[in-house]
Structure formats: structure tokens, C-alpha cells
Structure 1
Amino acid sequence: MSKAISYRIFKSAALVGALLASFSASADIVISGTRVIYNEKDKDEMVRLENKGGKPLLVQTWIDKGKENVDPAKLFVPFTLTPPVFRIEPKRGQTLRIMYTQGAALPADRESVFWLNVLEIPPKLPEDKSNVQNLLQLAFKTRIKLFYRPANLAGNAIDAIKELKWSIVNDDNHVYLKAKNNSPYYVSFSDASFTSAGKKYSVAIKMLPPMSEETFTVSGLKSGSTGKVDYVAINDFGGSVTRSVTL
């Protein structure tokens, strides 16, 4: 497929972005899983797609580094994804194959994260549009995380969730909450909060990279405060791991 065609398909998703936020609808293409773990020792990884809808769909797939609005034709990632464009009939499936190409060396001491994109385009309207004046067609894009996991990393992904270090930091009359990840694994969150003196504060954390820390301002918290952090992280299988840490 040419870059021009690829860009036109991708651009259609951007044009309907505002519509997706305004109308209640759902995608027909379902991905079997909420994340992909690509282990270094594996030759490839397979991802299964299913068309749960009642109409055939054109699907485009690609992998990016986190910038979701970049034209796929201009992206470079060290993976080959096949097939890049295909048609799925109603109630049928398609398997995607992801292969690490080693075109660019990735860190060997920690995970790397990418994003798998699945864009579904509805079929073209019939030439006679007299009966479809009120029909709105939407393109849907689904993105899930793709983690590249080098061999021989210390510990494991579950321990990374359990062993996060949380602390309260006082600095220049401000109070901060700090989360620190000493592991070589990414930790993804679905929810996090801090409770102190009976008041619950939301913590806006989505993902903490390996060997990193993130600091959050907790408005209204006083110096010397104590409390409890409650967080829900997501494991390799998309399940929830709930933890509480008293500070």
C-alpha cells in the first residue's frame, strides 16, 4: 500500500475525532487483550482481532512510540507488523503478527514501551444516498500498550507493582506526594489516591517508567501530614492489582 493511501486512511480517523467525543457508539473490532508483552527471546507475538459487528470493515494497523497523531508512513519503530491493512468480514477474525526487527537497539536493562494502533473504517456508503441522509459513519481507533521486555531483567513485573516506593515531600511550604519505581519494569495504573485526615485526594498517575520517579502536588495538604496511598495497577494479563501503603 502506498504512503498516500496509508495517510488518507489515517487522516480519516483524525477528522472524526471530535465526533467520537460527542456521540455514543462503540467499535466493532475487539482486540484479544489490553496489552502486548514482547519478550526478547520470542521470535514474534500474535494479537487476535475479532469483528463483532454486522458489516465488513477495512482495518489499518501500526505501531508508534507514543505520539498517536503522527502519520504512520512517517513512523520508524523497530518492529514489523503484518498485515498493515486488511478487510475483516462480520463475525470473523484476523491475527496480527509483530516481529522485532532489531533495526534500532533498545535498552537491555529495562523495558521499552510502544503503542499498537487498530483503526477500523466502515464501508463506503452506497451511490444512492436517498435512504441514508441521517446515517453517520464513524471511524474508530483503539490503542493498547506494547512492552518490549529484555531477557534477564531483575525481579518481575508483579514485584514492580508491589515494591513501588511512596513518600511525602515537604519543599518551600508545599507538600508533594512522590512515587518511585526502582524496577526495570513499567507500572501502569487505573486508579490512585491519597487519604489524609479523612480527606481523599486523587493522584493523576497513569504510568511510571522503569527506574524513575514522579512527584504530584497535593493541594491543601499541610506540612507534616500523614496518610495512606491506595492504588490499582494493571498486570501483564490486564487484571487489577490493588495495594495500600501507609505513609
Structure 2
Amino acid sequence: MAINTKQWMSGLLVLLTSISQSYAGISLDRTRLIITGEDNSASANLTNTSSSVPFLAQTWVEDVDGKKITSPLVVLPPLQRINGGQKGVARVSKTAEIDKLPQDRESLFYLNVREVPPKPDKPNTLQLAMQSRIKLFYRPTAVIPKSKSEVWQDQITFTKQGNTWRADNPTPYYVTIISLNDKLIDEGGKKLTSFPGVMIAPKSSLDIEVKGAADKFTMMYVNDYGGHPELKYSCSGNTCKALPIEQQPR
């Protein structure tokens, strides 16, 4: 079937315009949200990045299997209008079912935010609504760190098994590893792993593929604030542990 060049270019222009407009919408101010046993609620800030177009923000919580839930955590309001250039708040609160969660380790959920754009005023316009999904952790009172600067990720150990290394997480926290590198990124470190990031559940292990051999390396992880610090590791035989705190980058 012949394609009319003028129609094709017109359709492409509409698509590109819609994609460009889709970058303006509802954005979250963080990549993860933590609610502790001592908190009544935890909030994420929403911003309408369009200067003039109002958007609706639809919010909900999912469990670890991706199922929508309203207990033991619920987010309010489930739907709100945010005018151009304005901000809103998604507030996650606990319900009475929170005590049924494990109290000796974190539990994982997901906070979802979907933007709902206004109805287009032009016919045959393709709209692209963006959706954000961030990790939502419930951290029981018993495992709240004593200090906000506490680093527990250095308790992760690795056991070499050829090109497969077993990462052991003895902590009560979820630990997200961005990469293993042959040295610090600021020193020109190169990746020993190919994954974009892996998350190890509390008190569990995970096998990861590693390229090449290394007796010294660094682990880049995600902290509570979404930052990507690094830890130095050294190996004795097939067992690799983090160096003492005084030998870690500051």
C-alpha cells in the first residue's frame, strides 16, 4: 500500500509533538520511600513540570508481586489534580494490618504514580501518559538504624564460585547493588558485572555473574537517599569482605 508522504510527515509531527509534551507531567522527588515503625506516615512530593497544563496524579501501592493493595499500607489521596507548575503530596500511611508484617526485617512494596493528562483539544492526537514506580520499604521499629549515617551494606560478603559469586546479605535490610568494579569509579573503575542493578532481600543470598578475576574490587550500592556510594572489598581465598571503615572512601 502506497504511503502518502504528506500524511506520513503530518503523523510523525503529531507523534513527536506528543512525545515532547509527555516529558512535561508529574514527577516524583525520590527513587525510594521508607516508612518506619515509628512513623505514622511517609510522603513523596509530586511536581507538575508543565508550566500551564493541569494533570491528574493517580497513586496506589502494590505488594512485592505487583498486586494493588490498600493494606497494610495505603496511599492518599488516590487521585489529585495538580495545576501547572504546582506541587502535590502522596502520603503513605499504615493500617491495622501492619503488625502482621515481619518485625525483624524490612518488607518491600511499590509506590506507583501515573499522570493523567487533560483531554487534547486537537483531533487525532496521540497522548502518552507516564507512570513512575518506586520502591517502598516498611522498616520495623526493631531494625531502625541508630544513626542516619549508619552503613550496613558493608556486611555483604561474596563467595567466589568461578564466574558466579554468591552475595550473602545477613542484614535485616534490602540491599541494592548497582555494580561491582575493579576500582573506584573516580579512579577509572570498570565494571565486573553486566547487570543494571540487583536487589538482595534481607537475610538471603543471590548468585551474580562476574567478569574476570579480582582480589580487590568495589561495590556500588544505593543508600536510603538514592545516592550511589562505593565500598572497597578485598578477598582472602574465595571469600571477599568489605575493608574496615577507616579504609573506606569518604
TM beyond 0.5: yes
Q: CA contact under 8 A between 2:71 and 2:94: conserved in structure 1? A: no
Residues 98 and 161 of structure 1, relative CA distance in 2, 3 Å threshold: same
Residues 217 and 96 of structure 1, relative CA distance in 2, 3 Å threshold: closer
List alignment gaps of at least 5 residues for structure 1. Answer: 1-18
Q: 2:192 aligns with which of 197, 201, 209?
A: 201
SS at match of 1:185: coil
List alignment gaps of at least 5 residues for structure 2. Answer: 1-14, 184-188, 236-250
The Cα of 1:140 is off from its aligned counterpart by 0.5
**Alignment root-mean-square deviation, CA:** 2.7
Alpha-carbon separation, structure 1, partners of 2:31 and 2:190: 33
Alignment partner of 1:231 is 2:228: no
Letter in 2 for 1:190: I
Residues 29 and 152 of structure 1, relative CA distance in 2, 3 Å threshold: same
Alpha-carbon separation, structure 2, partners of 1:199 and 1:101: 45
Residues 46 and 217 of structure 1, relative CA distance in 2, 3 Å threshold: closer
Q: 1:50 aligns with which of 27, 47, 50?
A: 47
Residues 188 and 199 of structure 1, relative CA distance in 2, 3 Å threshold: closer
Alpha-carbon separation, structure 2, partners of 1:145 and 1:218: 26
The Cα of 1:194 is off from its aligned counterpart by 5.8
- Paired residues in the alignment total 207
Q: CA contact under 8 A between 2:193 and 2:209: conserved in structure 1? A: no
SS at match of 2:141: coil
Alpha-carbon separation, structure 2, partners of 1:36 and 1:235: 11
Sequence identity (%): 32
Letter in 1 for 2:140: P
Which residue does the alignment assign to 1:36? 33
Q: CA contact under 8 A between 1:65 and 1:77: conserved in structure 2? A: no
Alpha-carbon separation, structure 2, partners of 1:95 and 1:154: 24
TM-score for the superposition, normalised by structure 2: 0.73
Q: 1:138 aligns with which of 128, 147, 157?
A: 128
Q: CA contact under 8 A between 2:179 and 2:192: conserved in structure 1? A: no
Alpha-carbon separation, structure 1, partners of 2:87 and 2:144: 37
52-61 vs 152-161, greater mean Cα deviation: 152-161
Alpha-carbon separation, structure 2, partners of 1:136 and 1:228: 52
The Cα of 1:218 is off from its aligned counterpart by 3.8
1:1-247 aligned within 5 A: 26=23, 28-53=25-50, 54-68=52-66, 70=67, 72=68, 75=69, 77-103=71-97, 105-126=100-121, 129=123, 133=124, 135-153=125-143, 158-170=150-162, 175-193=163-181, 201-204=192-195, 205-218=197-210, 225-247=213-235
